[in-house]
Amino acid sequence: MSAREMLAEHDRIFVEFARTLAPSDWKQQSLCSEWSNHEVLAHLVGGYSISLPSLGSAMLVNRGSFDGANTAVARRLAGRQTPTELINTLVGLIEHPKGIGKRFPAGLLLGDHVLHHLDIALPLGREVLIPGRIVDAVLKTEVRVPNPFVPAKTNAAGLSLRTTDTGWSFTNGRAGADSHVEGLGIHVAAALGGRRFALTSLEGAGVTQLKDRLT
């Protein structure tokens, strides 16, 4: 299964999850410090549809900051559309992405969407039903592909990682005896993606190293 196919599969799963959330859930803070759950949803829709000129304009207004532009676009879209409207828009974009959604590498986009799924689900204490093979694909990309927006590859350096549910593992050549980190795949992926919330669900001597990197 290609990364693009896994992306579509994940996003359909996310839509089913998103439709179970109450209005009060969308107002809650996500694991992204800048965004509510509603704004995370808006970010996913914006990332699937914004044009390059529109993104460039947003960056110009935000003094060249990609993160600032992302935040501005997400907040503006969340102010215009309710969660239900955004979910309905996302459904159409899954099969017919627009703008940078068609150009951005599918493997990196998959990681972005899975992480944001976790950003909403984990603090709400909701069950995450992402197939293990999709989580494994995200982990493989995190530890091997440099990402200018999420330093997961750097966070994984020198660690010996293992998922207790899927059996995925990765050991950096420099990993020492105190570098072991293990846990459910979603928690390993979230931690490598910079989410400190997931650290308490991981075990191993290497968790201390990973925690220091996320501070």
Helix runs in the chain, H state only: 3-18, 23-26, 37-49, 52-61, 66-80, 83-95, 100-103, 106-124, 132-144, 152-156, 185-192, 207-214
Residue 30 near residue 71 (C-beta atoms within 8 A)? no
Helix (H) or strand (E) holding 11: helix 3-18
Name the pLDDT band for 56 (thresholds 50, 70, 90): low
Domain boundaries, the chain: 3-124, 132-214
Neighbours of 130 (CB within 10 A): 22
The yes-or-no verdict on residue 55 having pLDDT over 70 is no
The answer to whether the pTM exceeds 0.95 is no
Instruction: Supply the pLDDT for residue 84.
Output: 98
Return the SS3 of 203.
strand
Overall size of the chain counted in residues: 215
* Least reliable range by pLDDT among 22-36, 68-82, 140-154: 68-82
Measured between its terminal Cα atoms, the distance across the chain in Å is 36
Instruction: Supply the pLDDT for residue 67.
Output: 65
Distance of CA 74 to the CA centre of its chain: 15
What dihedral do alpha carbons 193, 127, 205, 111 form, nearest 10°? -20
Please give the DSSP secondary-structure letter assigned to residue 29: B
Return the SS3 of 91.
helix
